[in-house]
């Protein structure tokens, strides 16, 4: 007697295709699209989904987490400063005190727990999905993103005449880290000017990134290291507290924009 229930091979394919397409069709229009699945994007997504919004996160890689799997150099331990260890308490991730106000934790444990918490809250993930462009509507307001299958950038030119598809949303969040990819689409059209990220200065950068997290352009909220690119803030290296608190701030700002738009 076999352990597993018998199935038709074709039913395996149908289950994957129909389930994915149903989700893609549903999320072709969302309340919020988050571009980038690093720590700031995942925290924002978790909070917004928990608040009951319909939220899609697009990530160009096949895996989520961005720079959160690893700390500094090749070592998978990351640091965070008081009071951001409270986010690890919420996620149930253990940490050790390194010095006064500085904690160290296991990056794979924290990253996996954050991904699980975001999915449990209802965030929908579209991985291997590359932001190619943005949608702008009247009054130059962000109205969504234009995406493609990310492996196409590694394919020969004669095979890559694949048109991207649009996904609409009321708010877009740029959580693409140091690359600030969404913001650069606006800069290319001379709609904003980016100051560019500054050199490393931990004490200054973390407060500044959280403080400047917000709506950088109508309908576009910026979080995480992408904030540094807009305002010329210093980078911070392998300390992640500001990414977590910036993600939370981005969720608060986004909720405010969505609620304001809902008032007739
Ligand atoms: O880089 P990333 O982890 O950004 P973050 O949330 O956190 C920064 C820290 O990891 C670290 C740091 C602070 O301590 O300095 O660097 O600001 O995650 C950004 C995610 O965006 C994805 C990318 O693959 C990564 O997972 N991404 C970048 N460009 C695109 C994209 C794109 N064009 N389309 C889709 N995803």
SS (H, E, C) the chain: CCCCCCCCHHHHHHHHHHHHHHHHHHCCEEEEEEECCCHHHHHHHHHHHHCCCCEEEEECCCCCCHHHHCCCCCCCEEEEECCCHHHHHHHCCCEEEEECCEEEEEHHHHHHHHHHHHHHHCCEEEECEEEEEEEEEHHHEEEEEEEEEHHHHHCCHHHCCCCCEEEEEEEEEECCHHHCHHHHHHHHCCCCCCCCCEEECHHHHHHHHHHHCEEEECCEEECCCHHHHHHCCEECCCECHHHHHHHHHHHHHHHHHHHHHHCC
CA of 38 relative to ligand 1 center, distance in Å? 5
Contacts (Cβ under 8 Å, ≥6 apart) of 130: 58, 60, 147, 148, 149, 150, 152, 153
What confidence tens digit (pLDDT) does each residue in 39-61 have?
Answer: 999 999 999 999 999 999 999 99
Q: Give the pLDDT mean for 105-125.
A: 98
Closest CA to 218 of 179, 260, 176, 246: 260
- 176 touches ligand 1 (CB under 6 Å): yes
- Structural domains in the chain plus CATH codes: 31-74+106-247 (3.50.50.60)
CA of 191 relative to ligand 1 center, distance in Å? 23
Residue nearest to atom 20 of ligand 1 (CA): 36
CA of 14 relative to ligand 1 center, distance in Å? 33
Residue 162 has what pLDDT?
83
Confidence band of 138 (pLDDT split at 50, 70, 90): confident
Residue of 36, 57, 145, 147 to test ligand 1 pocket, by largest number of atoms within 8 Å of CB: 36
Residues present in the chain in total = 264
Residue nearest to atom 14 of ligand 1 (CA): 240
Residue of 57, 58, 65, 67 to test ligand 1 pocket, by largest number of atoms within 8 Å of CB: 67
Phi, psi (degrees; rounded to nearest 5) at 98: -95, -60
What confidence tens digit (pLDDT) does each residue in 155-165 have?
Answer: 887 777 788 99
pTM score > 0.85 for this model? yes
User: Rounded mean pLDDT of the chain?
Assistant: 96
Is pLDDT at 96 greater than 80 in this prediction?
yes
Question: Cα separation of 253 and 212, whole Å?
Answer: 11
């Amino acid at each position: 007697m076999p352990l597993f229930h018998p199935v038709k091979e074709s039913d395996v394919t149908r289950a994957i295709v129909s389930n994915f397409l149903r989700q893609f069709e549903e999320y072709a229009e969302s309340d919020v699209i988050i571009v980038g699945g690093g720590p700031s994007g995942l925290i924002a997504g978790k909070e917004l989904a928990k608040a009951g919004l319909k939220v899609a996160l697009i990530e160009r890689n096949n895996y989520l987490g961005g720079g959160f799997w690893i700390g500094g150099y090749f070592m998978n331990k990351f640091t965070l400063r008081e009071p951001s260890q409270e986010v690890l308490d919420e996620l149930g991730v253990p940490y050790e005190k390194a010095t006064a106000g500085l904690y160290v934790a296991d990056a794979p444990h924290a990253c996996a727990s954050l991904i699980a918490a975001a999915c449990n809250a209802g965030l929908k993930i579209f991985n291997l999905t590359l932001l190619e462009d943005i949608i702008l509507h009247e009054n130059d307001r962000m109205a969504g993103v234009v995406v493609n299958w990310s492996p196409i950038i590694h394919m020969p030119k004669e095979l890559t005449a694949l048109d991207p598809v649009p996904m609409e949303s009321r708010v877009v969040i740029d959580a693409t880290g140091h690359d600030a990819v969404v913001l650069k689409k606006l800069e290319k059209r001379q709609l904003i000017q980016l100051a560019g990220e500054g050199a490393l200065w931990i004490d200054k950068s973390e407060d500044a990134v959280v403080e400047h997290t917000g709506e950088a352009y109508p309908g576009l909220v910026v979080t995480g290291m992408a904030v540094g690119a807009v305002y010329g803030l210093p980078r911070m290296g392998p300390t992640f507290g500001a990414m977590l608190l910036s993600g939370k701030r981005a969720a608060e700002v986004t909720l405010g924009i969505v609620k304001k738009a809902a008032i007739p």
